[in-house]
Amino acid sequence: MSLTETPNRDELLRVVEHATASTRSTARRFRGQNRTLVVAALIAGTVATLLAGTAAARATPLADSWAVTCWMVAIFSAAASLCTGLIQQLSLTDRVAVWDACTSRLHALSVAIRLGDRDASRLLAEYQAIIEEYPTCFAASDL
């Protein structure tokens, strides 16, 4: 659909619902990636702390030597740091917020279209405003 022509309500609703489903799916994917990295960071950090704490409390290495114990702690600490760094570097928290906000705006617009209390040209203008406000959401998809 060309955004310069005024579509009928059904066509606009179809386009907006497609955009809503697409942005919701992407937001869900980013949320899942963020959650996976957060959980992995928490688990790795906790394991590193437990390994180091147990070895220190027992005053004996957990493996055959202190070197092996230290390597185990270092590996889990590095994994925790890597996961935390990826979350920040990939800006996953920010991406989730942007895609959720875009999805919410599109959903609100679909409700407004269904209510039928605004003319189609005004609804189209609102859709165009959403596109302008969230260009990354529309550039990264088939919308």
**What is the pTM (predicted TM-score) of this model?**
0.78
The answer to whether 34 and 93 have CB atoms below 8 angstroms apart is: yes
The whole-number pLDDT of residue 31 equals: 96
Q: Report how far residue 40's alpha carbon sits from residue 77's, in angstroms, rounded to the nearest whole number.
A: 11
Q: Is the pLDDT of residue 102 over 50?
A: yes
The whole-number pLDDT of residue 140 equals: 62
The whole-number pLDDT of residue 120 equals: 86
Render pLDDT for 53-85 as a digit per residue (tens, 0 to 9). 999 999 999 888 999 999 999 999 999 999 999
Tokens of 135: 């260009």
Helix (H, G, I), strand (E, B) or coil at 1: coil
Q: Is the pLDDT of residue 106 over 50?
A: yes
Domain spans of the chain, in order of start: 9-139
| Long-range Cβ contact pairs of 37-43 (< 8 A, separation 24 or more) | 37/83, 37/84, 37/86, 37/87, 37/92, 38/83, 38/87, 40/79, 40/80, 40/83, 41/79, 41/80, 41/83, 41/84, 41/87, 42/80
The whole-number pLDDT of residue 2 equals: 45
The whole-number pLDDT of residue 143 equals: 62
Render pLDDT for 1-47 as a digit per residue (tens, 0 to 9). 445 566 788 899 999 999 999 999 999 999 999 999 999 999 999 99
